[in-house]
Amino acid sequence: MKRIVLLGSTGSIGVKALKVIQSNPEKYRVIALGAGKNIDLLLKQIEAFRPVSVALKDEKLASEMRRRLPKDLRPDILYGQEGFVQLSTLDKADTIISAMTGAAGLLPTFAAIKAGKNIALANKETMVMAGPLVMSEAHKQGVSVIPIDSEHSAILQSLVGHPGEDISRVILTASGGPFRSMPLKEMRSVTPDQALNHPNWKMGPKISIDSATMMNKGLEAIEAKCFFNLRMDQISILIHPQSIVHSMVEYMDGSFIAQLGVHDMIIPISYALSFPHHIQNGLPRLELDEIGILSFEKPDFTRFKCLNLALNAAKTGGSMQTVLNGANEIAVEFFLDGRIGFLDIPDLIEKTIDAHQPYPVDSIEQIIEADTWARNTTRSFLRNEYQQEPVY
Ligand code: MG
């Protein structure tokens, strides 16, 4: 029986993770839930799963939760970063599902590793910001960090049983997002609503915008580098609009091994919890004859500038990866608020990157310093160079 702490329980991954847990009561039990602001949904989850502790984003939300809790339910209610860290290091927990959005996931995840917990990682920003540090700490503590991101789950599934030195490269597949074939001119005026409308996956706002700019694939390339200890020249990206082949590994002899499946996050979530087993999940089966054609093409680096920015930041490494991530989070927030246009996202990130003197990072403190610098610098560009009023 795995005793699980789920961080990010009200997000799209969190909700699916609870489905996986609920369908396997003999294997998994939730002991704590961490959420952001969605009190209504968290209340329902508390009633269904009876966790011993929960945490919310801030004190105000925690007090509201205390007021609204039915009398027969009395979990500990914590809040803020400290609250999430308390959850992720609970004595009784053995596995943490890290599914918070953005840089907020880093400290609770790192604290969990230090406390000897196994990690199922959906929060890719943790790897982008602090990959080498996270992996070396996990190695030191003898804990496993298993990816939930569908591409990295596919790579892991394609790697199991093969010696690492036989890998030639990995190929990350990308759907291309909602603007895969839109001319650059039109991309200038797309709205947040258009960008949030992903053709294949239903996801939260941050990752949906990252998919539309293709920054998501850039972040995933960095994630793959850290997870599987690869050089950047061993990572390729192919656009695959059907999202059926979730990624592949090419071996020294030219063999490709890929993982295919319907595009539903239930599969990678379930695999991260049951690794190395593939267990039943009740999803409809993949019928390849109904899909008919699987197509692949090279990404367009001119229209998707974020992809280049991320790959270059990965080559530089160290603090540059953290700065890329911090600048992107702020730029995405500005775009969602209607304060900058879609193509201002890569421009803002590039300005921040150009202003940064990269340095090697070997502590969490240095990573937080680089992250804070990036956020402040990106905000200062907005204040000075972009319009102050929403553009929509
Ligand atoms: Mg992914």
Distance 148 CA to ligand 1 centre (A): 8
Distance 285 CA to ligand 1 centre (A): 20
Distance 201 CA to ligand 1 centre (A): 10
Secondary structure string (H, E, C) spanning the chain: CEEEEEECCCCHHHHHHHHHHHHCCCCEEEEEEECCCCHHHHHHHHHHHCCCEEEECCHHHHHHHHHHCCCCCCCEEEEHHHHHHHHHCCCCCCEEEECCCHHHHHHHHHHHHHCCCEEEECCHHHHHHHHHHHHHHHHHHCCCEEECCHHHHHHHHHHCCCCHHHEEEEEEEECCCCCCCCCHHHHCCCCHHHHHCCCCCCCCHHHHHHHHHCHHHHHHHHHHHHHHCCCHHHEEEEECCCCCEEEEEEECCCCEEEEECCCCCHHHHHHHHHCCCCCCCCCCCCCHHHHCCCCCECCCCCCCHHHHHHHHHHHHCCHHHHHHHHHHHHHHHHHHCCCCCCCHHHHHHHHHHHCCCCCCCCCHHHHHHHHHHHHHHHHHHHHHHCCCCCCC
Distance 248 CA to ligand 1 centre (A): 13
Distance 149 CA to ligand 1 centre (A): 5
Distance 392 CA to ligand 1 centre (A): 29
Same domain? For 156 and 120 the reply is no
Distance 259 CA to ligand 1 centre (A): 13
391 lies in some domain: no
Tally of structural domains, the chain: 3
Distance 220 CA to ligand 1 centre (A): 7
Per-residue pLDDT of the chain (392 residues; tens, 9 = 90+): 999 999 999 999 999 999 999 999 999 999 999 999 999 999 999 999 999 999 999 999 999 999 999 888 989 999 999 999 999 999 999 999 999 988 889 999 999 999 999 999 999 999 999 999 999 999 999 999 999 999 999 999 999 999 999 999 999 999 999 999 999 999 999 999 999 987 777 788 999 999 999 999 999 999 999 999 999 999 999 999 999 999 999 999 999 999 999 999 999 999 999 999 999 999 999 999 999 999 999 999 999 999 999 999 999 999 999 999 999 999 999 999 999 999 999 999 999 999 999 999 999 999 999 999 999 999 999 888 775 555 54
264 lies in some domain: yes
CATH label of the domain that carries residue 128: 3.40.50.720
Same domain? For 239 and 329 the reply is no
Distance 151 CA to ligand 1 centre (A): 5
Same domain? For 197 and 98 the reply is no
Query: Which residues form the domain of 353?
Result: 317-385
